[in-house]
């Protein structure tokens, strides 16, 4: 898949780190460091603008190392960038730790995963087909 991109940052384009990586790291593009206090959130800009093919979305996801080591995550994970959005990619980061966290220009702040999707056409019916699970949800299949 080819995706058109404008990079107004001074950082390299997002890229896959390994042959089997699903996501590409994206970086902060900020004039000044941003300090996130515990439980504080902020939209961090990236300097990236995308033109995705119709039927595709870009998902903004947390970086596992930031989440595990520092308690920094993407608040609306995964954030969706629609194919018709042409604005700058921003990442809503939140600090779930008990310590201040400083975001520097160029820091890898999230991952971008490209995914295909389908559009649904609803068919209203009076009844759905039966399954073994039925209406069971939220832990109904048990913990193994």
Give 135's contacts (C-beta < 8 A, 6+ positions apart).
none
CA-to-CA distance for 13 and 29, rounded, in angstroms? 12
Residue 140 has pLDDT above 80, yes or no: no
Tell me, rounded to whole angstroms, the distance of Cα 98 from its chain centroid: 23
Cα 68 to Cα 71, 73, 142, distances in angstroms = 6, 9, 26
Extended strands (E) in 1-144: 4-7, 24-27, 34-36, 41-51, 56-61, 72-74, 79-81, 88-95, 101-103, 108-116
pLDDT tens track for 5-29? 999 999 999 999 999 999 999 999 9
Region 77-103 average pLDDT: 97
Residue 127 has pLDDT above 70, yes or no: yes
Residue 134 has pLDDT above 90, yes or no: no
Q: Give this prediction's pTM.
A: 0.88
Which domains occur in the chain, in start order?
4-116 (2.70.40.10)
pLDDT tens track for 62-79? 999 999 999 999 999 999
Region 109-122 average pLDDT: 96
């Amino acid at each position: 898949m080819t995706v058109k991109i404008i990079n107004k940052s001074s950082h390299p384009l997002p890229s896959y780190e390994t042959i089997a990586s699903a996501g590409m790291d994206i970086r902060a593009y900020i004039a000044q460091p941003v300090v996130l206090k515990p439980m504080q959130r902020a939209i961090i800009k990236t300097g990236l603008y995308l033109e995705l093919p119709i039927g595709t979305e870009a998902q903004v996801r947390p970086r596992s190392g930031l989440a595990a080591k520092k308690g920094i995550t993407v608040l609306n994970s995964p954030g969706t960038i629609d194919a018709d959005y042409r604005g700058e990619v921003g990442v809503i980061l939140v600090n779930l730790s008990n310590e201040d966290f400083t975001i520097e220009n160029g820091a890898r702040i999230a991952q971008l995963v490209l995914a295909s999707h389908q559009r649904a056409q609803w068919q209203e019916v009076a009844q759905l087909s039966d399954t073994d699970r039925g209406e069971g949800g939220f832990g109904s299949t048990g913990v193994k």
